[in-house]
Structure 1
Amino acid sequence: MKSVKHTAAAVAVGLLVAAGGYLGWQAFGPREAVPAVSYTLLDGSKGSTEALRGKVVLVNFWATSCVTCVAEMPQIVATYDKYKGQGYETVAVAMSYDPPAYVARFAETRKLPFGVAIDNTGEIARRFGDVQLTPTSYLINKRGEIVKRYVGAPDFAALHKLVEQLLAEA
């Protein structure tokens, strides 16, 4: 009986160590590079993920028909406004099924202060891991690495803390 308890305890400790190692690797291990994509913004200007290197970037996949997307947009705007002068950028990528006229109207009436791209072909969503659900956002560090992926609205207080940490990095 004593050896069964010891074995169970050893297994439990082993699992905790393995889980801790995995979580540590997730937090500090190699990060996925942001895919190289080019896009055209609503104002006609061209952009690319490569041109955003050196900045902390939130890439937000959204749709005008997505209730959560529309609800979170004021907080995305507030986050952008709070950090834009410190090397932070936001790119809102409208999904391929979103009618361009709706996207343009939304961006204009809400006075979105950051770049808005329409992913007409779905190529941007495919390159970011075949994004299907909206909202899906990616936080990217200055080195062009994906730090965090959010499916659904992020916890904005936690997002702000992470943005501040990333902005402080060299």
Structure 2
Amino acid sequence: MLRFLALYTSLALAANAAAAAPVDWQAARDAGLPKLIESEPSAVPGIEFSDVDGATHSLSDWQGQVVLLNFWATWCAPCREEMPSLDALQRERGGERFQVVTVASGRNPPAAIERFFAEENITELPSLTDPKMSLARAFGVMAMPVTILIDAEGNEVARMTGDADWASPAALALIDQMLAE
């Protein structure tokens, strides 16, 4: 734990000291996000998806914000483990400049999503769906969960396959670095 605190502190200080410095992806991996892979920045697809009420959305709805996009499913055990930390990250850092956007991909009826959120006490995350997996396919998602980091210009900059503790000091420091850019 002390190691993570030291790494988080150094990452936070580095982010504050050099606001325009690039994200230190290796430090994030070393601090607790080992499966995080930096991507060559590329524009995210403009594919539409919906919320549980049927309203249509696209990632451009979050243009100008850093976005942590998470593909998940109600039947996915690692997703169930990860979702509370995504909720905590949104509670801790969500706002005008950053959003956690969770998209239930595949067969996830609205009632199942609502039940999942209630069982896991998820209160801060949107109830978005991609029933035909159009958005997931456009991102090359083959398994769940998959998390994609999108910069404020709308470019994918990193991704992770598998679950993570998104409320950890490593994740908070990573988001702080992205917001400092």
Deviation at 1:112, TM superposition (A): 3.2
**1:112 aligned to 123, 136, 153, which one?**
123
Of 67-76 and 88-97, the range deviating more from structure 2: 88-97
- Aligned equivalents of 2:95, 2:142: Cα separation in 1: 32
- Aligned equivalents of 1:147, 1:154: Cα separation in 2: 17
User: Is residue 94 from structure 1 mapped to residue 134 from structure 2 by the alignment?
Assistant: no
Residue segments in structure 2 that go unaligned for 5+ positions in a row: 1-25, 27-36
Of 159-168 and 36-45, the range deviating more from structure 2: 36-45
Q: Give the secondary-structure state (helix, strand or coil) at the position aligned to 2:43.
A: coil
- Aligned equivalents of 2:132, 2:103: Cα separation in 1: 12
Give the total of aligned pairs.
143
Deviation at 1:98, TM superposition (A): 2.9
- Aligned equivalents of 2:40, 2:122: Cα separation in 1: 37
* Corresponding letter in the other structure for 1:149: R
- Aligned equivalents of 1:149, 1:127: Cα separation in 2: 14
Residue pairs, 1:43-54, within 5 angstroms: 43-54=53-64
Residues 61/119 of structure 1: CA separation in 2 closer, same or farther (3 Å cut):
same
**Conserved? CA contact 2:74–2:80, under 8 Å:** yes
Residue pairs, 1:13-24, within 5 angstroms: none
- Name the residue aligned to 1:158: 170
Normalized per residue, the structure richer in helix is 1
- Name the residue aligned to 1:144: 154
- Aligned equivalents of 2:63, 2:42: Cα separation in 1: 14
Residues 138/64 of structure 1: CA separation in 2 closer, same or farther (3 Å cut):
same
* Corresponding letter in the other structure for 2:180: A
Greater relative contact order (CA < 8 Å, ≥ 6 in sequence) = 2
Residue segments in structure 1 that go unaligned for 5+ positions in a row: 1-22
- Name the residue aligned to 2:113: 103
Q: TM-score, normalised by structure 1?
A: 0.74
**2:89 aligned to 54, 73, 79, which one?**
79
* Corresponding letter in the other structure for 2:49: Y
- Aligned equivalents of 1:58, 1:72: Cα separation in 2: 13
Residues 40/158 of structure 1: CA separation in 2 closer, same or farther (3 Å cut):
same
Identity %: 35
Deviation at 1:68, TM superposition (A): 0.9
Deviation at 1:97, TM superposition (A): 2.6
Q: Give the secondary-structure state (helix, strand or coil) at the position aligned to 2:100.
A: strand
- Name the residue aligned to 2:12: none
- Name the residue aligned to 2:133: 122
**Conserved? CA contact 1:96–1:122, under 8 Å:** yes
**Conserved? CA contact 1:42–1:115, under 8 Å:** no
- Aligned equivalents of 1:142, 1:134: Cα separation in 2: 24
Q: TM-score, normalised by structure 2?
A: 0.70
